[in-house]
Amino acid sequence: MHEVYNHPFSESIRAGVGSIMCSYNRINQTHACENSYLMNKLAKQDLAFHGFVVSDWSPQPSGVSSALAGLDMSMPGFRSYTEGLDNQQNPAKSYYPLKLFPINQWELVK
């Protein structure tokens, strides 16, 4: 996977792209928008991506799982994404910073 797909993404991130999108595909049986390895580890940690990750139009089956995996903005506004964060479905974690991150990114594109 790295040999074929990683180069265009890593070069875009190095060039300063502001956002990347996850979509409908699965990687090793995990939905792309719920894949923590791709969004948190590879993009945000290894490639030092500082923008935000946005979903394609409703590709994620679970809002909370997507948020924890690194999805910053759900399109078109996936209801269980925000409801799950509002309800704090996992009391051991605070989702508050995850939900506000896309709002802060608006300052980058003004």
Task: List the catalytic residues.
Answer: 56
Transcribe 9-46 into DSSP letters.
Answer: HHHHHHTT-SEEEE-S-EETTEEGGG-HIIIIIIIIII
* Cβ–Cβ < 8 Å for 19, 53: yes
Determine the residue type at 27: I
